[in-house]
Structure 1
C-alpha cells in the first residue's frame, strides 16, 4: 500500500471496539497508533488505511504487512518489534519465543525484561501486532486486544 506523502493524524471510531483508532503518519510511514475513547476534533477521518482496519474488524484476513512503519527505535528494540511483526495472522507466540526470535536469551531475566519493555512501548500496535503475544505486557489496551484476538480467533 502506497502511503507516499501521507502526513498527519487520522482517526475513526469503530463500533466493534467501542473506541477509535488514531494513526499518526510522517512521510508516508505510520509512526504512532493509539486507541482513544473518542475521535479528537483536529483529525481527518477519511483514509484508506482506516477502511482496511474496518475490513479487518469485520473478519477480513488482513496482515497489514505492506504498511510501512517509521519506527525511531534503537536497533535492539526494533529487533523485538520485528519478531512480533513476523507472527502470522491467527497465530500467537509466547514472550519467551519472541525473546528467542529477537536473538536474546529467554532464560536471562534481563533479556526477558528488555523484551517486555519493548512490547510495552510498542508505538504502532495492530501493525506490530502485540495482541498475538501471549503473556504480554502490551501497548494495546486489554479490551482492544481481546477484540483483535477474537477477530483472528486466537484462543
Structure 2
C-alpha cells in the first residue's frame, strides 16, 4: 500500500455491505476500520486502500497482508490478531485452533480461549484483520457485515 496518503479519515460507500467502510489512517498505517451508516463529516474517499477494499467486496481475492495495521493493544492480544492475519482468504478456523497458532497459548485453557475472544472482539481493523474467518469467535464488525464478509469468501 502506498504510504503517500495523508493522515485522516477515509470512507467509501459499499453497496455490498449496505454501509460505508471507514478507515482511520496515520503514519503509513491503518489505525481503524469501521462500518458506519454515515461516515464522519471530514472523511474523504481518496485512499488507495479503499480501491482495494472495493475490489475485494466485488469478488477480487485479497488478503491485505501487506497493509500495515497499528495494533496498539497488549502483546498477547496483538499476537492473536497477527495470527488471524495468517488465516488465508476463503479459510476459517475455530477459537481453539487460533489459540493453538499463538505461541504461549493453550487451546485447552479457558483463560487463553477468553483472551482470544477478547482480542477478536476488540479488533481495531476488522476486514484487514479478518476476524470473520474465525467461525466461533466474536467479530469487531457488526453482525450483518461479518455475515456478508463470510458469504463473500464462501464461509
TM-score category by the smaller chain? over 0.9
Match of 2:62 in 1: 62
Match of 2:8 in 1: 8
- Contact kept, 8 Å, 1:4 with 1:27, in 2: the verdict is no
CA RMSD for the aligned pairs? 1.1
Equivalent residues in 2 for 1:124-135 (5 A)?
A: 124-135=125-136
Match of 1:147 in 2: 148
Question: Structure 1 unaligned runs (5+)?
Answer: none
Equivalent residues in 2 for 1:83-94 (5 A)?
A: 83-94=83-94
In 1, the alpha carbon distance for the partners of 2:53 and 2:34 equals 13
In 1, the alpha carbon distance for the partners of 2:3 and 2:147 equals 28
Instruction: Name segments (4+ residues, structure 1) moved above 4 Å.
Output: none
In 2, the alpha carbon distance for the partners of 1:114 and 1:61 equals 29
How far off its partner does 1:40 sit? Answer: 2.2
- Contact kept, 8 Å, 2:9 with 2:40, in 1: the verdict is no
Match of 2:35 in 1: 35
Q: How does the TM-score come out when normalised to structure 1?
A: 0.95
Farther off after superposition, 68-77 or 8-17: 68-77
CA distance 1:2–1:148, change in 2 (3 Å):
same
SS at match of 1:53: helix
Q: How does the TM-score come out when normalised to structure 2?
A: 0.95
Question: Structure 2 unaligned runs (5+)?
Answer: none
